[in-house]
Amino acid sequence: MVERLVRHLQVPSNKAPNLEQRSTDDTLGWEKDSAKGELAKVLGQMATLQHRLLAEAQQSLLIVLQGRDASGKDGLVRHVMTGMNPSGVKVTNFKVPAGSEKMHDYLWRCHAACPARGEIGVWNRSHYEDILVPRVKNLVPEEVWRQRYRHVRDFEQMLVDEGTRVLKFYLHVSHDVQRQRLQKRVDNPESGWKHDPSDLSDRELWPKYGQAYEELLKETSRADAPWFVIPADNKWVRDLAVAKIVLAELQDMNPQFPKPPPGLKGLKIV
Ligand code: AMP
Ligand code: MG
């Protein structure tokens, strides 16, 4: 039942998510062998609804992905978002702000990346980096990053009020799984290019990022723009959990094909 899954993984408003107590390797009662078939089924249903969403061109869905390095944000985009029609999916990878991004407020580039009516936006990192990174690395005074909780709540509420659903996923991995994945990256000549020395300095700041995420999820999870903590040590669990929650949202949005123009009945194309 997706309601049970949602209840289990969603961070309630104003409640500490207790990340340390939340399992990173929970299998949510699923079996790996059957998960692949189940994911394919869910992706098929997502694709059907996305087709309608795009045709309807009234509502939008924004999916925010956050998590530590190697938590699987890229893999999730590859495995879960690929079944949909790329015309209606807009994936944005947010990197360290550069060029004109630095010359504007931090929400400027985010607003520009929001999905248009009918589209699904997927953000690989997001405006939440503008709270986490300055806090953990002491880049700005506390009052500057702290007031951003209020900004992002208001910004997301505005999007919701104007017809965008917002779902936010924190991919929760253990310290050891991050180590294994970063090591694998370095050892494999085909993934060495992904290695970023800043991943290692961020890994040294593991507890600080943990505290920052703990507070951030509490401050910004809202019934209308909820955070979900996804156990992400197992990629197959991560993919299926996110896919099921996204599918349930699309079903709730219930997009409809627009009515055809009048005069189609009996029309013969010559
Ligand atoms: P990756 O997603 O691993 O390719 O790397 C992107 C890097 O950009 C990460 O280290 C992020 O923390 C960093 N980043 C993204 N957005 C921001 C931001 N708004 N402020 C500071 N760093 C950011
Ligand atoms: Mg990185």
The type of residue at 99 is: G
pLDDT digits (tens, 9 = 90+) for 32-81: 999 999 999 999 999 999 999 999 999 999 999 999 999 999 999 999 99
Q: Rounded to the nearest whole angstrom, what is the distance from the C-alpha of residue 198 to the centroid of ligand 2?
A: 7
Topology given in CATH for the domain delimited by 2-253: Rossmann fold (3.40.50)
Q: How many CA atoms lie within 13 A of 150 on its CB side?
A: 4
Provide the token pair at 11: 């961070």
Per-residue confidence (pLDDT) for residue 83, from 0 to 100: 84
Q: Nearest to residue 23, comparing CAs of 219, 212, 237, 199?
A: 237
Q: Minimum-distance ligand to the CA of 209?
A: 1
Mutate to test the pocket of ligand 1, among 94, 124, 182 (most ligand atoms within 8 A of CB): 94
Q: Rounded to the nearest whole angstrom, what is the distance from the C-alpha of residue 41 to the centroid of ligand 1?
A: 33
Domain ranges of the chain: 2-253
Q: How far apart are the first and last CA of the chain?
A: 50
pLDDT digits (tens, 9 = 90+) for 107-155: 999 999 999 999 999 999 999 999 999 999 999 999 999 999 999 999 9
**Rounded to whole angstroms, how far apart are CA atoms 192 and 183?**
10
pTM attached to this predicted model:
0.98
